[in-house]
Amino acid sequence: VQYAVVCALKVITEHEGVFIHPGSDEDSSDQDLLISGSLRIVDKDAEIFVEYRPLEDTVDPTNMLCAGKKDSSSVMEWEQVSSERSQQVLETQQSYETEWDMVNTVSFKKRPCSNTECCLNHNHERSRWALSFHINELKSVTVKKEGWTFLVFRLKDSSTPLPALHFHQGGSNEFLDSLKNLTRLME
């Protein structure tokens, strides 16, 4: 006989549009990576946790679509022409067929992986950036306002801080207010 463990989960607060910028750290291998996710405070069976959950659509340049190498028509060049020639070009550009020719000449394909690192399982890559900690493990929160506000959490048993969480769409003050209501934070 198997029993399912049921965990009562209550979301206290959740903020979307929170990003991790791994390239801002010393590790240059993730320089162009931008991890989009949501930051939330949850109650799991009367235990309070802070969680960061990456979204599916994380912006990873190794996963982006790129023009195929043989599709040179996706590059356009502009050059100056005489006013008489300009009128002819304008009439040609306004034709229905020309518009569709342009649409049909551009094609995209997924960039092949050049090494084994970029071929990692997508779920593994997402879980690499997922964060979860009990509120009692929190030692400090550093708030920085450079462009947009970002928070850096430091845990009691860790000498290194967690990655900075950037609030691109605002909401850092509301998140901190919720956190202050649940724990004793001193400025």
pLDDT of the residue at 50: 95
Higher pLDDT pick, 41 / 64: 41
Q: Which pair of tokens denotes residue 14?
A: 């959740």
CA dihedral angle for residue 121, residue 126, residue 129, residue 132, rounded to 10 degrees: -120
Q: Angle 161-133-12 (CA atoms, 0-180°, nearest 5)?
A: 120
**CATH fold for domain 9-24+33-56+119-186:** PH-domain like (2.30.29)
**CA separation for the pair 172, 175 (Å, rounded):** 5
Give 48-57 pLDDT, tens digit per residue. 999 999 986 5
Average pLDDT over residues 39-43: 94
Up-side HSE of residue 178: CA atoms within 13 Å toward CB? 19
Summarised one tens digit per residue, pLDDT across range 1-25 is 666 666 678 999 999 999 998 865 4
Question: Do residues 130 and 81 make contact, with C-beta atoms less than 8 angstroms apart?
Answer: no
Q: Which amino acid is at 92?
A: T
pTM of this structure: 0.57
Q: Domain locations in the chain? A: 9-24+33-56+119-186
35 versus 116: which is more confidently predicted? 35
Would you say residue 171 has pLDDT above 80?
yes
How confident is the model over 98-123, as pLDDT tens digits?
544 444 444 333 344 443 334 344 44
Structure confidence at residue 37 (pLDDT): 94
pLDDT, residue 145, reads 86
pLDDT tens figures, 47-96:
999 999 998 654 444 443 433 333 333 233 334 445 565 555 555 555 54
